[in-house]
Chains A and B, each alone.
Chain A
């Protein structure tokens, strides 16, 4: 657990670092999100590789998504995804009612507009994990009331 504080602080620094460097140069929100997302992607790839080393082969897409929601999420955020929904046509919605990276700024609505910065890394994390399991996807996040948030995974069919 001790590692957790370190990770949270590092993540905060990453977000503020990326945005600070953007202030000096180009002022484009999208670029920062992409940067954070790419970092998450790389980490997700690495993690899932280490993580599925000894696991049984996945049955199907849903099985993989369940793995992401349970095991993967527990490892990274110390809890499971609270709700997984799918339309069975390649769209999955993962809902976390108390998302770890948002909890510290969740009292009140003051920081709601900044929430998306703190979700980009995790979007990348999911996308990277899925990509190494052979699923190409687009992951977006949305927040309506912190600390709850939803990640929407759109599977790209090959």
Chain B
């Protein structure tokens, strides 16, 4: 009886555990398949990209977010709507560059790294690199190509999650040459809109 009673409330949390564990299994498998960490990072990014280009449709269909007018708004939407919706967290946005074309997202409690401990011989593995790929793919679908540099990292030698000790961030950078125009174009809107702008 108690078993049944417990279920309802935990179901949402559990599903994020499913995702976390599945992702863990995937990374483990990739580490077995590829010799060095760089290749694993690359592969994760590629997979993330493929997810991102599909996920954006789901996002637009469900979030009711309209076109963004500048990059700051884009950043807000990513952090407060998208991350909230899919991972249940709200990363903080910092490190704005003076030009407003670059910022960092800091994930204080990254659900992907729950239950994760990286062994010493994988020091250059960027465990959550998938997220960078997802963002890259998703943003590419709605705006211009962005460079997303991944610095998402699990620190080594920690058992389970130590939330605040780890710093995970991503930096977005726009190609500087076409900046003024690009900023206008950065929109979380439909792809059609954007191509018309171009």
1-45 of chain A: CB within 8 A of chain B: 1-7, 9-11, 13-14, 16-18, 21, 35, 38-40, 42-43
Interface residues of A (CB under 8 A from B): 1-7, 9-11, 13-14, 16-18, 21, 35, 38-40, 42-43, 46-47, 50-51, 54-56, 67, 71, 74-76
Distance between Cα atoms of A40 and B25 in the complex (Å)? 8
Give the contacting residue for B6; candidates A2, A7, A54, A74; CB below 8 A. A54
Distance between Cα atoms of A40 and B29 in the complex (Å)? 11
Distance between Cα atoms of A96 and B25 in the complex (Å)? 25
Contacts of A10 in B (CB 8 A): 19, 22-23, 26, 47, 51, 130
Interface residues of B (CB under 8 A from A): 1-3, 6-7, 11-12, 14-19, 21-26, 28-30, 33, 43, 47, 50-51, 54-55, 58, 62, 85-88, 115, 130
Distance between Cα atoms of A74 and B15 in the complex (Å)? 10
B6 A9 Cβ-Cβ under 8 A? no
Contacts of A6 in B (CB 8 A): 19, 51, 55, 86-87
Contacts of B88 in A (CB 8 A): 2-3
Distance between Cα atoms of A30 and B58 in the complex (Å)? 33
Q: What DSSP secondary structure best describes chain A's contact surface? A: helix
A43 B18 Cβ-Cβ under 8 A? yes
What is the minimal beta-carbon distance from A128 to any residue of chain B, in angstroms? 10
Closest to A71 in B: B7
Distance between Cα atoms of A3 and B85 in the complex (Å)? 8
Pairs across A and B, CB under 8 Å, 25 listed: A2-B62, A2-B85, A3-B19, A6-B51, A6-B87, A9-B51, A9-B54, A10-B22, A10-B51, A11-B22, A13-B47, A13-B50, A14-B26, A18-B29, A38-B29, A39-B26, A43-B24, A46-B21, A47-B18, A47-B21, A51-B14, A55-B2, A55-B6, A56-B1, A71-B7
Closest to B115 in A: A46
